[in-house]
Structure 1
């Protein structure tokens, strides 16, 4: 049995045009080695993707965002993964937001750390970065290029 688990994530960018990423160990089917992902998580019953993105950003970073301030999603990707014998199908919805500071409160990550990445650093990262294609998407967003609808990224 596969459980649907939609999520919302935020591409949070600081004044130096760096994106916030959290370090984690991904579930199957990826290798169990440290990787990086954007703030975000599961959409709860009754929440819109934008509401979930704001809630998750606040829980993980302390940043307060307003759902109407996020605008439309900038990207999506979807696929299957598993953990502890449970299988999931996830559609990630990505939003873009600028923040006034690069501060993240203590305990604001999952314990493996966080860092702010430039586009060049993402492009040359030796550890896996989720979602694939983030460097190109971020480069476009920072240049003011925004597609008419969400870009579909690889899983």
Structure 2
């Protein structure tokens, strides 16, 4: 019985010791819970606020991304339109270049024709000048012959009158 009492006392001391440890652990757990509730909740609120801010920033970024994508799409359309206009301009430029080349050939041909006509004109001018000189020369000779003819007619008239006076 003494042994049982001793064992009971030891068990009772152990129980008391365990209850003290349990109450210390409960107090510690309460302290941790209070600390968690005060610090953890504050931290959770900070994290929640940060999450809200990041969500708002994410939405802004997504909006900006959508706007940028729309702008890129518009720029791509403009680039395509400008590319087509450039291709049309190149085609028109090639046509204009071909037309210029053809016109230059025609111009050279016309220059040759003009040069030929200028030679003909010079030749004709030379012939005209020679003909005018001959005409002047013939006019002068005609005038001289007319003058002589008139002198001869005057002489013939005067001889006829004289002849008529002598005959009559």
TM-score by length of 1: 0.12
Which structure is higher in strand share?
Answer: 1
> Which structure would you say has the larger RCO, counting Cα contacts within 8 Å and 6 or more residues apart?
1
The structure number with the bigger radius of gyration is 2
